[in-house]
Amino acid sequence: MKNILVIGAGRSATALIDYLKKYIGDKELQLTIADADLALAQQKAGNAGGRVRAISLDIFKEEELNQHISQADVVVSMVPAAFHPLVAKPCISHKKHMLSASYVSDEIRALDEQARQAGVLILKECGLDPGIDHMTAMEAIDKIKAAGGKLLAFRSYTGGLIAPESDTNPWGYKFTWNPRNVVMAGQGTTARYLRNGEYKYVPYHRLFGRLEQIEIEGYAPFEGYPNRDSLSYLQIYGIEDIPTMLRGTLRKRGYCDAWASLVQLGLTDDSFKMEGLEGMTLREFTNSFLSYDPSLSVEEKFCRMMDVSPKSDLFKRIVWLGLFSKEPVPVSKASPAQVLQAILEEKWKLEPQDKDMVVMQHIFDWEEQGEQKRLYASLVSLGDDQLHTAMAKTVGWPLAIVVSLLLEGKIERRGVCTPVTPDLYKPVLEELRELGVTFIEKVVSVPAAKK
């Protein structure tokens, strides 16, 4: 009997596990759900019967980890990204396939030759972003190239957002994912992309002002800001000659301007602990990032610094966060980013009935038989509830599908790779479509002037 081992039973593993439980059905298969927290593993295993079992597993105990991997046929690693090498190495020595949704690190990439020699597949970046983005992008790129088209531009945006029915605040945003990642988004380097043959660099403090307006029929308008490094995808996608290449993150329209004002103030800095937070009001907290001027109110100083009117939506969003209120700062001995996160965790909290939404849009421009065309390929995936979120489904399903394909002997690729080749993306996308993860495609002709 073949055995599937899932390591890590957290939030993002729910849809993966549900899919696999259904998949094993009456087949000669076993599913082992491992987590350092046995109760969590048991909860996810549910009462599906003898062929689904929950175990306690500490990945830092080498012997324990080796034992369980040696008993598996395919391993899905849902542990935090930094710990994937801990799992990948024993997978290779025991000749077991390993799948994960996180980025290929240099350390994992270096295992390629070993993995090939062991005859195993180490598949990374096989979730949503990275994952579905790679697969759908490559499908479109390969199709355009096959038709003799010449690629001119590729822009791609993804966002983990709140469903329209749960969108009840002026930011159009709630925490459907790790709050710290949202507060720290974009920090630490300069975003880089390619626009009509020009390299473009946007430092963090201007990142949320370099926006593209994105529309998807039936939904409120979105906007996207550039991700850290779009340039590395030129090679990954084999489109080194393309003049425009940008990957970005989607928010509902209006979010980025308001977020940019928090960045301008300095509220996202995580490099030092603030003084005197105990007994400080949010109004005083905000004022500490504005210049000293007793002739102006905190609101007036904010509006002057940001060059906005007190009637602007931007200002209203900041007011709604309570940053001018006399409420106490919710944490003490914290960095500005930690204070902001604590404020947002209260304001952007998911309510029990709230549903999330994953949105992705690819925009391809190409020339085909003297005509310039544009493809908009858009995905909107809605969560069912707080457990079966759109994020968990779109991250977990691609992994689960590859597990099934591997067990059925339908994937021959070996070594360290990502799902950018047709042997991988075709069967996965086909199955995803059956599960309702479908891109709406629209092709338009672009007048030459609009290049």
Q: Which residues bind a copy of itself (CB under 8 A)?
A: 188-190, 192, 195-196, 198-206, 210, 229, 231, 264-266, 269, 271-272, 274-276, 284, 287-289, 291-292, 294, 336
Q: In the complex with a copy of itself, which residue's Cβ is closer, 154 or 175?
A: 154
Residue 81 vs residues 6, 61, 127, 437: alpha-carbon distances, Å: 15, 18, 13, 25
Q: In the complex with a copy of itself, which residue's Cβ is closer, 221 or 276?
A: 276
For residue 169, which amino acid is it?
N
- State the Cα–Cα distance between residues 152 and 366, nearest whole angstrom: 5
Give the bridge partners for 361, in sequence order.
157, 378
Q: In the complex with a copy of itself, which residue's Cβ is closer, 266 or 310?
A: 266
Q: In the complex with a copy of itself, which residue's Cβ is closer, 271 or 445?
A: 271
Q: Output the smallest distance, CB 292 to a copy of itself, in A.
A: 4
Q: Output the smallest distance, CB 319 to a copy of itself, in A.
A: 21
Q: In the complex with a copy of itself, which residue's Cβ is closer, 207 or 390?
A: 207
Q: Output the smallest distance, CB 280 to a copy of itself, in A.
A: 9
Q: In the complex with a copy of itself, which residue's Cβ is closer, 64 or 284?
A: 284
HSE, CB side, 13 Å, CA atoms: give it for residue 434.
9
Q: What are phi and psi of 161, to 5 degrees?
A: -125, -170
For residue 147, which amino acid is it?
A
Q: In the complex with a copy of itself, which residue's Cβ is closer, 333 or 433?
A: 333
Largest CA distance in the chain: 77
| Cα 135 from chain centroid (whole Å) | 15
The SS3 assignment for 361 reads strand
Q: Output the smallest distance, CB 336 to a copy of itself, in A.
A: 7
The SS3 assignment for 174 reads coil
Q: In the complex with a copy of itself, which residue's Cβ is closer, 112 or 269?
A: 269
Question: Of 115, 61, 117, which Cα lies nearest the Cα of 89?
Answer: 115
- State the Cα–Cα distance between residues 154 and 451, nearest whole angstrom: 13
Q: In the complex with a copy of itself, which residue's Cβ is closer, 50 or 272?
A: 272
Q: Output the smallest distance, CB 155 to a copy of itself, in A.
A: 12
Non-local CB neighbours of 11 within 8 Å, separated by 6+ positions: 389, 392
Q: Output the smallest distance, CB 266 to a copy of itself, in A.
A: 3
Residue 306 vs residues 208, 303, 311, 319, 441: alpha-carbon distances, Å: 13, 5, 13, 14, 39
CB atoms within 10 A of CB 11: 16
Give the bridge partners for 97, in sequence order.
74
Non-local CB neighbours of 65 within 8 Å, separated by 6+ positions: 57, 58, 59, 86, 87, 90
Q: Output the smallest distance, CB 269 to a copy of itself, in A.
A: 5
| Cα 15 from chain centroid (whole Å) | 16
Q: In the complex with a copy of itself, which residue's Cβ is closer, 200 or 414?
A: 200
Q: Output the smallest distance, CB 204 to a copy of itself, in A.
A: 8
Q: Which residue has the tokens 């799902």?
A: 419
Q: In the complex with a copy of itself, which residue's Cβ is closer, 134 or 283?
A: 283
Q: In the complex with a copy of itself, which residue's Cβ is closer, 213 or 291?
A: 291
Q: Which residue has the tokens 């007190």?
A: 310
Q: Output the smallest distance, CB 321 to a copy of itself, in A.
A: 18
- State the Cα–Cα distance between residues 161 and 155, nearest whole angstrom: 19
The SS3 assignment for 160 reads strand
Token couple for 234: 């030129």
Token couple for 213: 């307006």
Residue 162: DSSP 8-state = E
Q: Output the smallest distance, CB 313 to a copy of itself, in A.
A: 22
Q: Output the smallest distance, CB 276 to a copy of itself, in A.
A: 6
Q: Would you list the DSSP string of 204-250?
A: HHHHTTS-EEE--TTS--EEEEE-SBSTHHHHHTT-TT-SEEEEEEE
